[in-house]
């Protein structure tokens, strides 16, 4: 809506807040207003027409409850008391159904208006719009209050994207946008995001000095904002992003760390007394990188504590002197493949700073002829193309007559999909849409101003390809194999015993659970 409305003054934001409510949508007011705003449909208030005077700020389209009341007073001859009764009926129509009582009175009043005799058709259209307000239409005062919040939020996001993103990350869970989407948007706007780490992170995400200027790393699509960005901070993810890590353990790690960083997994364990289970969660989240050890090496070190669990903390071995431990030495274990690392990040942090899952499948997608999200603006409207990505959101608003809006994300951005009810009624398509973690959609591209949609005609579940990243598969020139395997021998000749097959299946199940399943909104 914003790219179409293009607000240039505060009152435009007031209208933006009101126009996306179910009331104006149900009343058929959205498209007429947008057409008049962009000049597609001409409208000018008629001199001496009291109804036009009421609606001149919204180009002849009623968007606020106050306007509905003024229409009844100025256009249909209602008294202020009767108009207030109409307002109450609009608010309580589901319980009482009284709004219909005013219909004949309103229509007759408009047709018999002494200054402007309106036609029955026009009067009925006006009342239909007023009925739309019964579906949660906004008072102008409420819309203005929300618009002030919108303006303040937009100003902060524009000039200080690091502060804005950090605040959102520390306010989770908060509804529509998941942390991975907030992080992706911040990165696109040049903000440096740093990993959660036992030596560097607090409980929540914090701002710290970055290694670059935000404005120097902004993506090309946001280049016009370069001169508006004033911040130069990086965001350090908090340890609260580690899946299942108790807050009490996090606070203990931060408090005991003080000014002396931990130099090994054992050092952290002895100084904090954090349970082995929590150390495993930290290791799986790759939170020991500042010690120079990777995810697998950290897990290896944690497992090494299990045999001695408790021995170092017995009274006999306790001393008042500070504990001295050797720095963790790399175990020399095989490295995980990059795709496997990303899958583990999603499983333990709900996001990854190492890459995007779709980027490792790009060679396969190129063979399919799939268009990157970042390139959609170059496609001629009306062309049929394929897009693919992780399923982030499925929306089926009650005001959209059964239409479903889907958001897909690849490594370059997001694509907006429109699924008509007829396609969704197909059992196979419905199952594909609702169950896929990664989805390919083929359809016709439509563009209106800056808004681009793909009208879905066919959908394919690509989740099995996504799960291949968890246990190893070579996609073109990107080797994302298991760390203890390479690309050896021709396809199909590699034999695996029963345990290995079971391991692969477990890895795929973990990967399926780790990937975003898509948020559903109604």
pLDDT of residue 482: 39
244: number of Cβ within 10 Å:
11
Q: Parallel, antiparallel, or unpaired: how do β-strands 404-410 and 384-395 relate?
A: antiparallel
Nearest-angstrom CA–CA distance, 393 and 160? 26
Residue 312: per-residue pLDDT: 54
Q: What is the pLDDT of residue 237?
A: 97
Give the separation between CA 127 and CA 120, rounded to whole angstroms.
10
Phi, psi of 442 (to 5 degrees): -110, 135
pLDDT average per 10 residues of sequence, the chain (522 residues) = 82 88 64 83 84 86 83 86 81 62 85 84 83 69 93 94 95 85 94 96 95 85 90 94 95 93 94 94 95 92 74 49 56 73 90 92 94 94 95 82 91 93 93 92 90 94 84 44 41 56 66 67 62
The 3-state secondary structure of 312-359 reads HHCHHHCCCCCCCCCCCCCCCCCCCCHHHHHHHHHHHHCCCCCCCHHH
Task: Specify the pLDDT at position 389.
Answer: 94
CB 417 within 8 A of CB 456: yes
* Bridge partners (DSSP) listed for residue 442: 386, 458
Assign 414 to helix, strand or coil: strand
Residue pointed to by tokens 């590699």? 494
Predicted confidence at residue 497, as pLDDT, reads: 66
pTM of the model: 0.80
* Gap between the Cα atoms of 57 and 61, Å rounded: 9
């Amino acid at each position: 809506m914003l790219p179409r409305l293009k607000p240039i003054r505060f009152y435009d934001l007031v209208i933006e807040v009101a126009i996306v409510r179910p009331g104006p949508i149900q009343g058929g007011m959205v498209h007429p207003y947008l057409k008049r705003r962009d000049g597609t449909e001409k409208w000018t208030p008629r001199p001496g027409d009291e109804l036009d005077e009421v609606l001149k700020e919204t180009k002849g389209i009623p968007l606020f409850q106050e306007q509905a009341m003024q229409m009844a007073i100025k256009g249909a001859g209602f008294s202020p008391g009767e108009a207030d009764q109409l307002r109450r009926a609009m608010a309580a129509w589901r319980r009482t159904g009284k709004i219909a009582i005013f219909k004949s009175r309103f229509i007759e009043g408009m047709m018999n208006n002494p200054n402007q005799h309106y036609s029955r058709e026009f009067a009925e259209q006006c009342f239909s719009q007023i009925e739309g307000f019964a579906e949660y239409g906004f008072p102008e005062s409420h819309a203005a209050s929300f618009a002030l919040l919108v303006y303040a939020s937009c100003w902060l996001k524009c000039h200080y994207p690091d502060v804005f993103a950090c605040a959102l990350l520390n306010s989770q869970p908060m509804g529509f946008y998941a942390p991975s989407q907030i992080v992706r948007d911040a990165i696109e706007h040049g903000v440096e995001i740093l990993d959660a780490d036992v030596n560097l992170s607090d409980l929540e995400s914090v701002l710290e000095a970055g290694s670059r200027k935000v404005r120097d790393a902004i993506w090309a699509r946001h280049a016009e904002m370069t001169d508006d960005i004033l911040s130069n901070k990086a965001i350090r993810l908090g340890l609260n992003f580690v899946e299942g890590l108790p807050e009490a353990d996090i606070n203990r790690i931060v408090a005991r760390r003080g000014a002396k960083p931990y130099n090994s997994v054992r050092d952290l364990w002895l100084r904090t007394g954090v349970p082995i289970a929590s150390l495993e969660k930290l290791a799986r989240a790759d939170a020991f990188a500042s010690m120079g050890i990777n995810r697998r090496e950290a897990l290896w070190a944690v497992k090494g504590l299990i045999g001695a669990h408790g021995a170092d903390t017995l009274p006999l071995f306790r001393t008042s002197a500070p504990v001295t431990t050797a720095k963790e030495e790399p175990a020399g274990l095989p490295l995980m493949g990059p795709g496997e690392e990303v899958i583990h990040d999603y499983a333990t942090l709900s996001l990854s700073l190492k890459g995007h899952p779709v980027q490792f499948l790009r060679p396969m997608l190129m063979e399919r002829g799939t268009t990157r999200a970042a390139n959609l603006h170059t496609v001629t409207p009306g062309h049929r193309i394929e897009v693919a990505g992780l399923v982030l959101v499925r929306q089926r608003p009650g005001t959209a007559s059964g239409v479903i809006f889907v958001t897909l994300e690849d490594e370059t951005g997001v694509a907006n999909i429109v699924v008509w009810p007829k396609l969704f009624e197909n059992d196979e398509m419905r199952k594909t849409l609702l169950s896929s973690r990664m989805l390919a959609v083929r359809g016709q591209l439509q563009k209106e101003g800056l808004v681009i949609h793909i009208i879905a005609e066919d959908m394919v579940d690509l989740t099995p390809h996504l799960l291949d990243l968890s246990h190893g598969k070579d996609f073109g020139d990107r080797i994302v194999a298991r760390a203890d395997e390479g690309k050896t021998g021709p396809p199909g000749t590699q034999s695996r015993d029963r345990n290995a097959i079971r391991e692969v299946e477990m890895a795929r199940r973990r990967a399926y659970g780790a990937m975003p399943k898509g948020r559903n909104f109604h």
